[in-house]
Structure 1
Amino acid sequence: MKFFTQHFNRHHFFHAPHRWFLALLLSPIQAAEHHYKKRYHLRFAHARKLFIFDLTLLSLALGLATMTAAWLWYDPTVTALVSLSLDPAVKDAAGPDRIRSGEYVSYTVRYRNDSDVSLSDPELRVHFPAGFMVESALPSDRYSSSTETFSLPDLTPRSGGEAIIRGRFFGTPDTEEQIIAYLTYAQAGKTWREVKRSPVITTLRGSVLETELTVPDTILELGSSPITLLVRNPYDQALPSILVPFPQADGFTLTAVSSSAGRIEPGAWFLPPLLPGQEERLTLRLDSSLAAAVTELELAFTPQFKLQQHVFSQVKVGRRLKVSHPRLSVNGAWGDGRTKIVPGHTAALAITVENNGDLPLSDLSLSVSMPAALVDTARLSALNLGAYSGGVFTVGARQHPDWGQLNPGEARSLVLQIPIRSVPQGGSDLVLLPAVRASARPAAPGAKTIQAEGLLPGLAVGTVLLLEADARYYTAEGDQLGRGPLPPVVGKQTKYWALIKIANTTSRVQNLAFRAVLPAHIVWTGKSSVSRGSDATYNPSTRAVSWSLPAISAHESVGVYFELGFTPGEEHRGQTPPLLEQISVLGEDSYISNTVSASAAPLNTGLPNDARARQKGVLTE
C-alpha cells in the first residue's frame, strides 16, 4: 500500500506522527499483501476483496449473536418490580427464630407493585407445612378456606397491602420447614398470569410440651429400676393427642406399671388432648440384663403429636445412666492339696467367696452339694456350722454374722470338715465333686440376688473290703454241715464249717489275700471250698489258713469255706472255745493306690448265728 510506504518512516514519526500512527494501523494489511504476493502470486486487489468479505461475515455473526442474547434475556414480566415478604410473629417470643412446636404464630404477608403498570386479579396464597393449623386470616372477606387463597383488589402502580394468617404451628423441633408465599396476577391488558414467589425457612426451636424423666442415676446390669415420665401442657391452649413410644434396645425392657390417664399398649403410651395446665404421669419398670462390658445406658423418650394422618416428634428427653456390675466369685480347694481319700476319713474343704464387683453385697449365703451316698451327713452337721437338707449343706449369716455384708474387694473364707462314709455307695471309682454356689443381694433398690457357682476339684474316694466270718453246724436252711456230737463232748471230735465272705465295694482290688489262725485245740481237716481261684491252704507250722486272688472287681463278692475239727478236753467243759482267730483280708486299691484291709471277730463254738445248733446245745459237756 502506497500510504504505508510513504508515511511509515522516521520523518513522519517526528514531523507528522498522526500519519505515522495511521500507517502503523494499516501494517497488517501491508503484511497480508506481501503474504499473498509471495505465497499465492496473486494481486493484492483480490486479497483485499476477500478480506473485506471475511470482515462482513464476522460482523453479521456478531450481530446475530447480539440479537439472540437480547431476545433470550428479554423479560416481559414485572416480577422484579413486585415485592413480596413473609414475616412471622410469636407472642412473648424472643424473636422470629424462636418458634416452638405447638405455639400460636401470626404470619404477615406484605406485597407491593413498584412497576408502571396495573396488576389485575391478584391472588395471594401461602403454602404451609402439614403441621400448620390455620385458625384465622385477615382480611377475612377476601380469604377462601377451601383454597387457602386471598382474592385481592387490582394493584395500581406504587400500591400494595398486607394479609395476616394466624394458626398453631406443629412440627419436629430442629427440623427446617419451608413456607412459600405466592402472588399471582396479570398485567393490565394481558391475559397470561405471572407468579411472584417468596420462600421462608423456619426451624422450630423446642416444644410447648414439657416432659420430665425421673430415673435413678445408677442401674444394675441385672435388676429392676422404677421410672417416672411426666408430660405437662404449660401453654394457654390445648395440645393434640400425644403418643409416647417406649425405647427399645438389647439389654433392657420397659414394662408399664400405671398411668394417670390415657391407655397403655405394648410399646407405647397414648394420651388424649391435654388441656392448658394439665399434666399426666406414667410409671414404668426398667428390667435390665446387660452385658459385662456395658458401663453406660442411654435411655430416651420422644413424645409425638398426632394430627390427623401426621405424626410430629417433639423434644427428646433422656438420661445417660451408669451401669453397676455387682460381681461375686467363689472358689475352693481341698486341704493339703488332697486328691484322694480313704472311706471313713475326713477331708478339709477351704472355700473363699469374694466381692469383685462395684457394689456392697448383703445376705451372703453359701451352698455346697454333699451327696449322702459319699458323705456322712450326720457327722457333717456335727462338725460344721450350717444346715443340711436335700443333699445340700448351707451356710449363711445366721451361722456367721460377718457374712451380713461384703464390701467391694472384700472376701470371706470358710473351712468345712467333710467326713466320708465308712462304706460309700454308688457306682465304681467314685469321685466327690462338690458344686458350690454363693449368693448375695446387691445393696441397691430393686436389685435381684446374684449368684456365683464353682466346681471344686474332684476327690477320689477309695473302696472298702467287707469281711464276714461265721461258724456253723447247720446251714441257714437247716441242712447239716458238721459232724460229731452236738453239744461237744469231752474226748469226742466235733466238726464245724467256717464260712468266710469277702465283698468289695466301689473299686478294683488287686492281690487279695485272706488269712486266719487256728487255735491250738483246733485241727485242720483238709476239707475246703472257694467260689473263685485256688483252694485255701493250711500251714501247720504257723497254724495259718490262707487264700489269695489276683484281683476282685468292684461290687464283687467271693467266699472261702473250710472245715475245722474240735476235740474238747476237760478244760473246755462248760465253755465255747474259739474256733478261728486273727481273721483278716488284705489287698491293694488300684483306684487310689492304697492298701485296703478288713478284719472279723474270732469264731467260737458258741455258733451265735446257728439257731438250730444252739437249740441242741453249744456248751461243751
Structure 2
Amino acid sequence: MSQEKNIKLNCQKTGQTKTGTDLLRCTVHIGSQAGKHISQPIRLLWQKKYWRSRSRLHKILDIVSLIGLILTTTAVIFLAWPQKTQNLIDIQASVAPEQVITGGESTLDFIYTNNSKEKIKNAVLKMDFPDHFTVNALNTENASQNGQQEFFLGDIAPGEYGAIHISGIMFGDVGGEQTFTSTLQYTYGEDNTKTEQTATHKFFPVDSALQLQLILPDYKISGQKINGQITYTNNGDIKFPNMKIMPEWPSSFRLISTSPNLQSDNSFHISGIEPQETGTIEFTGILGNPDDSTFIFNPSFTFNDAEYRQTALNKTVDILPSPLTISHSAPDIITPGDQAIFTIFYKNISQNTLRDLQFKILTDPTIFYGETIDEGYSAAEIDSLTPGEEGSLSVKLKTKGNFSITTKNPTLRSTTAVNFKLEVDGEKITANTRDKSVSSKISSPLAMQSFGRYWTASGDQLGRGPWPPEPGGSPVGADYGLLALQPEPLSGTLA
C-alpha cells in the first residue's frame, strides 16, 4: 500500500525530472493516469505543443495505442457486419431461339454447376416466372420435379452439374423485359450450414407472333374514297388472349365507317384467336393530302390486370395529287332577299378521262333556299371531262329574306366540292376534291337612324334632334338650353 502511494506521489510531482522507469510506472498506473493516454495527446495537439512537450517514450506509447485502437475498431466492425454467404452453385440461363418472340414458344435452359470443393446436400431449386408466362413442357437432368416451379436437385458433388429445360410462351411488351428468378436452397459442410442464393435471369422480346397488315387499293389519289382492311394473324402455337388494336389515322384522312366498330377507348377489341388464324378489320374513308399519308396501328395483348404492347404497324402510302383542280368566286356582299351568284372554275390535269362529275357549293344552309345534298347545294353535273379540258359554270342561290346572325361584322364562307370517277389500269376509282374557302360579307337592306328627345330640367319638352348632340345644333322647334338627356330604348323586328 505504501509503495502504491509513493508511486502516486512521484507521478504527481511536476518539477522533478523523471527517469524512463518512472515514466513507464506513471503510464501504466491507472489510478493516476486514467484517461490521460487519450486526453493528454489530444490536448497537446490542440495547443500545438505535442512535438515539443511530449517525451519520446510517450510518443511511442501514443502510436502503439493508436494502432491498437484501429485494430480493435476494425475487428468489431468485421464481426458485427453481416457476412455474405458464398455462392457455391453457379446457375446459367439461356433461351432458344435467341430472339425472344412474345406470344411465340421459347425454350429456357437453366444449367446449374457445383464449382466449389464442398458437397452440396438436399438442394432445392424454386423458380418464379414472369406474369402470364404459360408453361408448355418441363424436362430435367439430374433433378426431379416437385411442381411447375419447384425442383429437387438432391446432393451435388463438386464439379457435378444438371439442367432444367422449360418450354413456354412469354406474353410481354415488345422491347420490354421478362424476368425469371431462381432461388436455390441447400446445406453444406460438416455442420450442415443452411444457405440460400437467388439469381435473376432477364430476357428481352424483340418481336411478336401477332402480325398486322394494311391492305389498300393499288392506285390512291388525294380525295379518293377507299375501302381498306387491317388483317391480324396469330403466327404462334397457342391461342392468343384478348387483343386490342388502336389506330392512328393521318390527320387529313376522313374516316367514314369501320367494321367492327371502334370502342370508347378508340380501339378495336378482338377476342382471342387460334394459332395460324387470320382476322380482318374493314374501314371506309377518304384519303387526305399526299404529304400526310402515314397509317399506324398499335396492337396489344390484354389480360384482366395487364396490357402488353406488340409490334406496331407503321405504313406510309403513296398518294397522288387530285387529277382535278377547282376554284370558285363568291359575291363580295350577301344581302338578304337577293340572289347570290357563285362561279366555279375546273380543269382536268391528268391523262385520264374523268366521269360523272357532280359539283356542289358548301356553305351555311340557313342562309339560302333549296335542298342540300351531302352538306352542299347541288351546282351542276358533267358527264365527262377529257384530259386537259377546263371550263367554268355559274351557280345562283336565292338568299332568304330573314335569318339570324349574332356576330359582329358577319361573313359567309363557301367552298366548292366535286365528286367524280375515273378508271386506271382497269381499277375503278371514286374520288372527290375541294378548293379553299372564300369569304363574303353579309349586309342588311335596313337603314337605321337615331335621334334624341330633349327637354328642360323642369320637364318642358324642347323637341328632337341629332344624337349625340352636335355643337351649334338645336332640337326641332326649340333652342338648346340646360338639357336633361335620357336614353330612348330602340326596339323592333327586322323583316
**Superposition TM-score, scaled by structure 1 size:** 0.46
Q: 2: CA distance between counterparts of 1:151 and 1:169?
A: 25
Cross-structure match for 2:137: 136
How does 1:105-254 map onto structure 2 within 5 Å? 105-139=106-140, 142-145=144-147, 148-188=149-189, 193-216=194-217, 224-235=225-236, 237-248=237-248, 252=253, 254=255
Cross-structure match for 1:315: 311
How does 1:115-514 map onto structure 2 within 5 Å? 115-139=116-140, 142-145=144-147, 148-188=149-189, 193-216=194-217, 224-235=225-236, 237-248=237-248, 252=253, 254=255, 257-258=258-259, 267-287=266-286, 295-307=291-303, 309-321=305-317, 328-331=326-329, 351=343, 353-354=345-346, 363=357, 365=359, 397=382, 404=385, 412-413=391-392, 438-441=416-419, 445-448=429-432, 450=434
Give the C-alpha shift of residue 305 in structure 1: 2.9
The aligned amino acid for 2:119 is S
Q: 1: CA distance between counterparts of 2:164 and 2:157?
A: 17
8 Å contact 1:441–1:450 — kept in the other structure? no
Cross-structure match for 1:64: 72
8 Å contact 1:78–1:115 — kept in the other structure? no
Cross-structure match for 2:6: none
Q: 2: CA distance between counterparts of 1:356 and 1:247?
A: 34
Aligned in 2, Cα 1:49/1:357: closer, same or farther, shift over 3 Å? farther
Give the C-alpha shift of residue 165 in structure 1: 1.8
Q: 2: CA distance between counterparts of 1:121 and 1:296?
A: 66
Provide, for residues 81-140 of structure 1, a one-character-per-residue CA deviation record: whole Å limited to 9, x for no partner. 3211112223xxxxx2x1212222222222222334333332212222114211232349
Aligned in 2, Cα 1:57/1:151: closer, same or farther, shift over 3 Å? same
Give the C-alpha shift of residue 216 in structure 1: 4.7
SS in 2 for 1:152: strand
Bigger Rg over Cα: 1
Q: 1: CA distance between counterparts of 2:437 and 2:115?
A: 88
Aligned in 2, Cα 1:412/1:160: closer, same or farther, shift over 3 Å? same
Aligned in 2, Cα 1:333/1:231: closer, same or farther, shift over 3 Å? closer
The aligned amino acid for 1:353 is F
The aligned amino acid for 2:75 is M
Question: Which is worse superposed, 192-201 or 207-216?
Answer: 192-201
Provide, for residues 19-64 of structure 1, a one-character-per-residue CA deviation record: whole Å limited to 9, x for no partner. xxxxxxxxxxxxxxxxxxxx98x999x7122212212222213322
8 Å contact 1:243–1:303 — kept in the other structure? yes
The aligned amino acid for 1:298 is T
Q: 2: CA distance between counterparts of 1:397 and 1:50?
A: 119
8 Å contact 2:349–2:387 — kept in the other structure? no
Cross-structure match for 1:607: none
Provide, for residues 132-172 of structure 1, a one-character-per-residue CA deviation record: whole Å limited to 9, x for no partner. 211232349832337x1112213344433222222122222
The aligned amino acid for 1:278 is E
8 Å contact 2:239–2:273 — kept in the other structure? yes
The aligned amino acid for 2:165 is I
Aligned in 2, Cα 1:299/1:122: closer, same or farther, shift over 3 Å? same
The aligned amino acid for 1:319 is K
Cross-structure match for 1:52: 60
Question: Which is worse superposed, 355-364 or 179-188?
Answer: 355-364
Give the C-alpha shift of residue 74 in structure 1: 8.3
How does 1:1-12 map onto structure 2 within 5 Å? none
Provide, for residues 442-470 of structure 1, a one-character-per-residue CA deviation record: whole Å limited to 9, x for no partner. 55744346467767899xx9xxxxxxxxx
Aligned in 2, Cα 1:359/1:313: closer, same or farther, shift over 3 Å? farther
Aligned in 2, Cα 1:102/1:396: closer, same or farther, shift over 3 Å? closer
Aligned in 2, Cα 1:310/1:396: closer, same or farther, shift over 3 Å? closer
Give the C-alpha shift of residue 203 in structure 1: 1.2
SS in 2 for 1:447: strand
Cross-structure match for 1:23: none
**2:101 matches 1:100:** yes
Aligned in 2, Cα 1:168/1:366: closer, same or farther, shift over 3 Å? closer
Aligned in 2, Cα 1:396/1:453: closer, same or farther, shift over 3 Å? farther
SS in 1 for 2:431: coil
Give the C-alpha shift of residue 231 in structure 1: 2.0
Q: 2: CA distance between counterparts of 1:58 and 1:151?
A: 54
Give the C-alpha shift of residue 414 in structure 1: 6.1
* Structure 1 segments unaligned to the other structure (5+ residues): 1-38, 91-95, 335-348, 370-391, 419-425, 428-433, 462-505, 508-621
The aligned amino acid for 1:441 is N
The aligned amino acid for 1:64 is T
Give the C-alpha shift of residue 228 in structure 1: 0.9
8 Å contact 2:359–2:419 — kept in the other structure? no
Aligned in 2, Cα 1:180/1:455: closer, same or farther, shift over 3 Å? closer
SS in 1 for 2:100: coil
SS in 1 for 2:155: coil
Aligned in 2, Cα 1:106/1:225: closer, same or farther, shift over 3 Å? same
Aligned in 2, Cα 1:181/1:254: closer, same or farther, shift over 3 Å? farther
Runs of 4+ in 1 over 6 A off after TM superposition: 217-221, 356-361, 366-369, 434-437, 455-458
Give the C-alpha shift of residue 194 in structure 1: 2.3
Between the two proteins, the alignment pairs up a number of residues equal to 356
Provide, for residues 153-192 of structure 1, a one-character-per-residue CA deviation record: whole Å limited to 9, x for no partner. 1334443322222212222222222223221223345576
SS in 2 for 1:52: helix
**2:91 matches 1:84:** yes
8 Å contact 1:77–1:194 — kept in the other structure? yes
**Superposition TM-score, scaled by structure 2 size:** 0.56
Q: 2: CA distance between counterparts of 1:184 and 1:110?
A: 16
Aligned in 2, Cα 1:135/1:325: closer, same or farther, shift over 3 Å? same
